[in-house]
Structure 1
Amino acid sequence: MNNTPAELTQFAINNITVGHDGIAIVKDASLTLNNGQIGSLLGPSGCGKSTLLRALAGFEPLMSGDIVMDGNTYSTASFTLAPEQRQIGMVFQDLALFPHLTIEENIAFGLHNWPKAKIEHRVDKLLALVGLEDMKKRYPHSLSGGQQQRIALARAIAPKPKLLLLDEPFSGLDAALREALVPEVREILLKERISALLVTHDQMEAFAIADKVAVMYGGQIQQYDVPHTIYHEPATRFVADFVGEGDFLSGIVLDNNRVQSSLGILSINKPHNFAVNQAVEILVRPDDLLHDDDSDILATIISKRFRGSHFLYRVKLESQQELYCFASSHHNHAIGEDIGIKLDLDHLVIFEQ
């Protein structure tokens, strides 16, 4: 993203710790989000994602650090700006649409101080934006789950908040609807130029909506970066294991440029601090290990999954190491069969064993 004035940092959390009774739940967390940028907090249940989101909304006080929005301090250890003064919108898993109000009344709920004509214009614009302009007089119970999700989003962004917080809003939807709706929500937020932060435990959901992803574990942000870097250059062993499918191949460092593995000698193409003869683990994604009939390295297929365009094989090496391997769907091999494989690594991701 270009660092033009319209895209300067909008909000920042700086080394914040959040907890109760002196026990930290979120520890020393920091991230920034630019104007119009969408971020995501990704991690397993209990890692502190929702607690961090509640602190941003003003529902949780800080033990240390600060939260800054547009240059104004929103939270410190001794001060918490009230949630209603933060100009922050929220969408929850429980959409909490008002059942007794029509769709247009739901969307207009937070606009009671606006002039009537301006309210009607804003509601009509948002209904058109979410593709439900013909449903303004209907009630929430008559809408599908995906339609209710769009209305909840429209209601949250109607007052034009500075930041929108989304706490696992798609988790109650089926997989097909979620896959279709998530990119639609991203487009709506971009058109409205609203910054947003999504909490999710679904990595595909985070990758589909976010410009930057913060992977959390044990109350800490393990890595905060663009999705491509999170996947291909994980900063920690946890991020490597949590994001995407992959395995860890045992190896021994030979020198500054090479590591010995059961798949041969591999080149190390970036600086590292590992000692010669140190045992390491090499991250191998399924797309790093390819089927190759001409390879001298054979592996035995122990399981297979058909995915339409390709197979995902689980193979066992002579060393008894098990790895995932991609193969074209034209290469339909049986479980128990030996196939040739080769590594196709652009760069090595190595961790201490």
Structure 2
Amino acid sequence: MRDFLPRALTGARRLSKRVPRRMASLPILFPSAKAANAIVAGIPCAARAAIGREGELVLVVPGGWEPSLLTQAELARLSRADCTVFADEDALGELALDGLMPDIEPRPVADILASPAYADPAAASHAQAQAARRIIAATGKPTDGLVSRTINRPVSQFLSRQLLRFAGVRPIHATIAASLIGVVMALALFLGGVPGLYAGAVLFQLASMVDGVDGEIARATHRSSKLGATLDTAGDALTNLAFIGGVVFNLWQQGAMRGAQVGLLGLVWLALGLTLLGAQSLLRGGPLSFDALKHEASAKRSPFLQLLGKLASRDVYALAFAVLVLIGLAEAAMIAFALAVLLWLGLVLVAITRPLWQR
């Protein structure tokens, strides 16, 4: 990033050297330095607005602006290195304004400076908080199932909003938190006896809800990455395997041998299917993923495969397992799990080998 970025450009004269009058530009108006330094609706939001746009990205703050160290790092991470400048409102006379604030539209500078969102810090802060809420609310996935949309996402997005109040929060922190919940869940299942079985079921559902937080933080702050997706997916798979393994061991300790044996068989089938799907995704050069069957179901528009994909979603089976265990049907849950995994494994084998026998 150019060495002028950490400095504030406090006048129209210096800005005009960087942005000629006829040059295309994307000015972003922030009502204060605090607003510009905001974690979600600040610089990351400005970077989102600049995606696919040509010309200078002009960050405008009244009275000039000295970015915080965190914001400087965010600028270096998100902005195009050769076309980001700072300015104050004196420079707006040269530019057409594209504002991020909801009630600011391209119009004369005098009207902009007189607008409530610009003049009233409280109104500006509220508008930016609402913008941050909308950004986080848009971090859900089109593939979210019914349980995820109605239960898990509201919880995870609430957690994301709270965590993003802290400047140092990163997606990896949420990934670690979800993994730690998985560790505590496994300890409860393996060491806790019958109470541990119930606690493990609740913790498995909690891990399913918290699982969405890392992705939401990544999408809201433009931190999505192949490594992050791989770590998240690997953590999910290990938590799933630990839950089934823990329930199997817990049932064996209680003497419920049929449920333990059938569950162990299902666990082996699950591990085999996940290994095949994960290896396929990595061999294709993508991040670790186990969604190949789900993508194929969507592409083929098969109602049966789409229904199976929805039932096999983590949000659905985590809640189902939690409910069945809590009402005393853990053994029945293992039998149902093994039958479902056997069907799923068959479809996985067909999907993976189809390119070979279609040649």
Q: So what's the TM-score if we normalise by structure 1?
A: 0.23
Structure with max Cα Rg: 2
The structure with the largest strand share of the pair is: 1
Q: So what's the TM-score if we normalise by structure 2?
A: 0.23
